[in-house]
Chain A
Amino acid sequence: MSRNTEVFVIGGGPAGLSAAIVAAELGAQTLLVDDSAKLGGQLIKQTHRFFGSSNRDAGIRGISIADKLCEDVKNLKDRLCVLENTAAVGFYSNNEAGILSQNAYERVSYQRAIVCTGATENSLAFENNDLPGVYGAGGVQTLMNVHGIRPGQKILMIGSGNIGLIVSYQLIQAGVDVVGLVEGLPTIGGYLVHASKIRRLGVPIYTSHTILSALGETQVEGATLCQVDDRFRPIPNTEFDVECDCICLAVGLTPLIDLFQQAKCRMVHIGELGGLVPLHDSSMKTTNPEIFVAGDASGIEEATTAILGGRIAGARAYESLYGSNDKVEQIVAEAKEELKTLRSGSTGERIRWGRERVLQEVGAC
């Protein structure tokens, strides 16, 4: 079987939903596929209030933002077709892609594709890191906030970025004892208000520390930690053990990029954006003029910027088919202004630098 669509959006997280909503609102026949059972991507696990501008969803819980976007999708059902439990499995030549749902395989003929595949979690090398009880933070959030299952009773968190801090807080809310949070750098990586929030509930934050090994024979029973020097080398004789039945890794994300490589988009490695990303211009268009990108797949950031990037990609994909109009320009101008604001200040420095490099590389093409 095969399907035809004008705009084909891969991924139903904040970026993909926003891209599909904008493309369909503007008038393009749009198909959105997502490999999970419920639209929303990581938003459906975000029980905390979002930061950002109160003009766009700040102060609202992530899960409510997902509900809002899904409501918009529903209202556009005449032009926006959604396939859940459906994975995009490959790009072919002649603007064709393959999708796999349940056990059925179909081909999709598209004019423009917007790829919003998000990211995968990084792991960390330490002794016994394959013991049952070692989780990624996304897995912990899925268990806890989607399925209502506690991953353990006593958990050790590795990584002090916003994910590590926020998931620690959510674990405390779920009644799990967070025995500590470990960070290799001498300073906390995420927002300090998040750190203070878990600290005052009694979670020790071990900066300049690392995990040497997970303890236990058949499952996690503890962990050995130690201090590290300014080059992340363990300092001898600083080892100590903590008791826990779970170790949660929140050590960063890497853009999920296989589809771009299949679609012959040129890639560039930018550490500040999480690794290899497809080269793209300020309209989120990759070096393959039919393929656009948005969200974490274009560089690791967070949900609000993913929404804004998705809106730009949706509007520009529509424009590349039908030409521009006032509404397109308004959507793009507003999103760009908001992105600029969100990325300003010292906490946005790395992202600004990374995004600047993408644009330089595109310019050099």
Chain B
Amino acid sequence: MLINDGIITLEELKKALPPEERYGKGPVAIIECLQDIPCDPCVSACPVKAIKMKEGITDRPILDFDKCTGCGLCIPKCPGLAIFVVQKNIAPGKASISMSHELLPIPLKDQMVTLLDRAGKTVGEGKVLRVINPPAYDKTAVVTVEVPEEKVMDVRAIRVNAGGQP
């Protein structure tokens, strides 16, 4: 369980997930922030005001999945690096996941990277589709990787290996 080992179980994650049919409408954010900590930068990061906190900043963020466009602007603003954008079916059997990446080296587009799950276990390799790292993101790069669709709820980090250049 999250509070014992830092690993969110799929059961715990349920309340943060969009309904299954939402994935058919394009990319969508998943906010894996399940504790009522005093923090709110995601709320102001969202250009379409899809993120709300009911009872002030110690509440959990609630995402309106219908409003969310999956733009990913909230990803680098989250101090907990807890926001991911998932897009299913980008190609047959393929999905993509976007996440914050604050470790060197920053991967390059088309580079193959190791995919890690929430426990840091290797679950395969994936191709980097996109790297966004402008000065406004202040050294938090947002990396999008291609993953097998059945692994998109597992992959939550990458390891960039030396020699994995495109």
Contact = CB atoms under 8 A, between A and B. Distances in A.
A348 B121 CA distance: 33
A202 interface: yes
Interface in B2-59: 2-8, 32-41, 43-45, 56-59
A58 B58 contact: no
Given A172-B103, A193-B82, A348-B58, A207 B38 contact: no
Given A49-B140, A191-B80, A347-B58, A196 B6 contact: yes
B79 interface: yes
A194 B102 CA distance: 13
B118 A345 contact: no
A188 B1 CA distance: 10
Contact of A347 (B4, B37, B41, B104): B37
A200 interface: yes
B77 interface: yes
Contacts, number: 131
A193 B4 contact: no
Given A52-B39, A54-B40, A193 B138 contact: no
Contacts of B39: 51-52, 58
Q: What is the interface residue range for chain A against chain B? A: 35 or more
A330 interface: no
Contacts of A54: 40-41, 43-44
A122 interface: no
A217 to B, nearest CB: 32
Contacts of A186: 4
Given A173-B103, A193-B37, A59 B77 contact: yes
A197 interface: yes
A334 B6 CA distance: 35
Interface string A257-276: 00000000000000000000
A144 interface: no
Contact of A205 (B5, B44, B57, B79): B5
B120 A200 contact: yes
A288 interface: no
Contacts of B90: none
B4 A200 contact: no
A339 B120 CA distance: 36
Given A192-B6, A193-B81, A205-B5, A58 B40 contact: yes
Contacts of A205: 4-6
Interface of B: 2-8, 32-41, 43-45, 56-59, 77-82, 102-104, 116-121, 138, 140, 156-157
Interface of A: 48-54, 58-61, 64, 172-173, 186-188, 191-203, 205, 207, 341-348
The 10 tightest CB contacts between A and B, nearest first, are A345-B58, A193-B80, A202-B120, A195-B6, A199-B6, A59-B41, A49-B79, A51-B39, A200-B157, A345-B36
20 contacts: A49-B41, A53-B40, A59-B45, A59-B77, A172-B103, A188-B5, A192-B34, A193-B37, A193-B82, A196-B80, A199-B7, A199-B119, A200-B116, A341-B57, A341-B58, A344-B56, A344-B57, A345-B36, A346-B36, A347-B37
